[in-house]
Structure 1
Amino acid sequence: MYLETRRGEASDNTLQSHKYRIGKFVEWCEEENITNLNDLSGRDLHTFRVWRREEGDLKMVTLRGQLSTLRSFLRFCASVNAVPEGLRSKVMLPTVSTDEQVSDTSLDAARAENILAYLDRYQYASRQHVIILTLWHTGMRVGALRALDLDDCQLDTRSPGIELVHRPEQDTPLKNKERGERWVALSERIARVLQDYIEGPREDVTDDYGREPLVTTSHGRPTTSTLRDAIYCVTRPCAVGEGCPHDRDPDDCDATHIHRASTCPSSRSPHDVRSGAITAHLLEDVPHEIVSDRMDVSRKVLDKHYDRRTKREKMEQRRDYLPDN
């Protein structure tokens, strides 16, 4: 009932996240033989908080996010008389410092360029090449890349670009819905790689709605998890000729398997690629307003979660705008 109520006001990814988080609460209730939410007490919620932290070995920022979802769920439950009014206030949220709220992983520019150079030489215009190349140079979310159709791409013009369109009724929503719709400029070099992929290894298939995705698998439009796995795979150092910095034997390393690539300490997530791309743009002195519009991220969120420049890097960039005297 809660998920159905949120449907339409929250993105599909948010709903999936809430389903997973509340699922953990349901799992705990089953273990504790709690079958009626009217019986829940503040003591029960504290016990769940401790269980969830220890069961998942969670960071405080992750635990806070999961408990915030539980509070939202309990607020809904109170509105339908499923729990006592005010029970949500019994869920105590851990205090998280500003530094803890920001992820400390990111794909830095040097690694990204090494990965792209390897793919350009050995896997030119492959699906992996197109995925990481597009994400790195546009900073878009992986869901936006998945949503692209051939008709959204204008590649053979003097001003190449791709259009992002929110199409939730056809399983390709954008995170910020209509507000996330925009044109994203491409360089002629990037456009040429995409065109070579389209004319070469791209699977010539349609999705369930008869649309022609830009990035495809033999079955049609890839799932988000397929794209995520591809990013984890290609950001492993051993996958791009750099050797293993963790002294692992490739024959015994689980991370060499496609669905376990995320277990490599050096692999990076789509979010890491996005934050790295945003930081790289800022280091090139691209104005914040341009980065915000291009990457579909507010200035506040950009500064808090995506700008990974060091304080000294920011100082050196400011220096360039100061008079010599």
Structure 2
Amino acid sequence: MWNPKATVENALILLLLTLSVMAKTVFSQNCQNTGCPGLKECCSSWGSCGIKDDQCGFWCFSGPCNLTNKSYGFNYNVSAGPRGPIESIVTPSLFKRIMSKVGNNCPAKGFYTHHAFISAVKSFQAYKRTVAKREVAAILTHFAHGSEGFCYKEDKARGKYCSPSKKYPCEPGKQYYGRGPLQSIRWNEYYGAASIFLRLPLLKDPDRVAQSPEVAFKLALWFWTTNVRPALYLGFGESSKRVDGRLCDNLHPNDTKNLVNQYVNLCKILEITPDEDARSEISAFWRRHLSALMKRCASTRASIITGRYGLSFVR
């Protein structure tokens, strides 16, 4: 016998379950915009956080992805090629040339200094003696891109970015949004891990990153050496994904074009090729970069970008 009350109750239960699933889906998709709160978690191209192969394997969107050069079919090592002491590569005149493009109305005008950059780089064991010129070009490119041309020292989109953590609990009243030249570094777990590595109280005082240019560079370099540097043998495309996993989701041709142009131009200034291919003129390098990047994006987005622009709009 039909029971109207039971039917309504069942409908409400079904509605609540549906809303629950939708809420979980929306939350998981946020990792493509905000990253995953856990240090060991990967964000997949489908928007879920986790540590399994579904998240950290070939379709890993960002985080500690488990990849090999077989993922791309080529090996364009950004950490190979000519090397030298960091102060001989990034000279005061080169740094001044880069910073000369910072507008007078930029909040971070004059904040990032040559002395702070060199001091921060030399504080890392991996760079105490020599560093690959190609890696330096990639670092400066991503630092400039991450701070909108060194114009900002804090993310314009503020947020608390606090996740429950016994190891790295949030300090009351503090917010863990992006600061420094890599403003994709968010969440208390990242600030906490950086605090231990750098021996700085960044978990208790995250604002310190925006107060000291040396600390700002150190935080960015900590993220670079931990999350990006191990994958430099996969090429510049992979470094782009590891620095900011949102690049795929918000892929705009002009933004990516500017990123590649900055890297190639810095390589020219340093008198090196952008990768191991000696024939690497900008159009060929661009095609390889976008090809690598697209392999890490959802296939639907890849087909839209490559189909519309034909991989030929950079010359």
Question: TM-score with structure 1 length normalisation?
Answer: 0.25
Greater RCO structure (CA 8 Å; 6+ sep): 2
Larger radius of gyration: 1
Question: TM-score with structure 2 length normalisation?
Answer: 0.26
